[in-house]
Amino acid sequence: MAQTKSILRALAGEVQEIPPIWMMRQAGRYLPEYRATREKAGDFLSLCYNSDLATEVTLQPIRRYGFDAAILFADILLLPQALGAELWFVTGEGPRLSPLTTQNDFDRLAGPQDIHDTLAPVYGTVRNLASALPAQTTLIGFAGAPWTVATYMIAGRGTPDQGPAHALKAENPALFDALIERISAATVEYLSAQIEAGAECVKLFDSWAGSLKGEDFDRYAIAPTRRIVSELKARHPDIPVIAFPREAGDRYIGFHAATGADCVAIDNSVTPEWAAENVQVSGCVQGNLAPGHLVTGGDDLVRETRRIVAAFRKGAHIFNLGHGITPDADPDNVTRMIEAVRGG
């Protein structure tokens, strides 16, 4: 069925009259059925590691909306947990990890090949989805990009400016580079296992790429992505890769060629017209509706959705948001967005 799936056709560079559509965080708290399943699981990590429940929440937005792709329900911080970091979630505040700031902390990490026992339930979810999804729906696997994962591992939490990671990079570059290397190698193993379990394409989320400037962007956003894409394609030549260097700005230009990614996802800090002229000329793009439109709705939602479709109509395009859908989004606004994309 691969050649008939609209997402995979877009990733291969095909221009389609109606772009395929899915949303980042499309399985999430804005949906009442998700909230009910999460309550059944008890907590977020239990949901991620319960293959049956994670399968259920991944399928919920497909049943409700008929998106063209389902993305595995998991979290980018499961990988550092598999490497040996302590991980927990604080209600209302988000994830916490045991911070990695010294060589001793690094020496306690597991090797890249030692992650699979911890992550086995995630692979189970992928296998479940590969058999449960509608025939036309593409299954997307994912991981966090090394820089973004490292920022959480070093600080032990999300930070406004990724300051702790920038500080370690400056003060102990050997340790920082070793951490990026370990995460990169483990990410190849993790995504490869997802592909072997049934993922048809994979996505790298570099949520904090925008805080890297100049040579640091080349070294810690582009180079690790290029390595991961290259190693994955050596193992799985037909599997496309989507890269999302969020808030990269002008550095979106040339990102396809610099990394080997089949598609570059763009955030909503750049206009679709600019991205069509400067990024889409190099390959498929994904994006880039501002998530706030799914909260406010109305004519602005429809107008902006149609504007984005029109801006990207001459090239390969996957319609998506510029970042994840927010918990306060109105599920009915998602329906309005889909209708606007598909001509309703």
Provide the annotated active-site residues.
25, 29, 38, 75, 152
123 CB burial (10 A radius; 0-12, 13-18, 19+): buried
Q: Which two tokens stand for residue 155?
A: 């600080």
Q: Cβ(243)–Cβ(230) under 8 Å?
A: no
In Å, how far from its chain's centre is CA 190? 14
Angle between helices 51-65 and 331-342 (to 10 degrees): 60
- Residue positions counted in the chain: 344
Q: Read off the amino acid at residue 186.
A: A
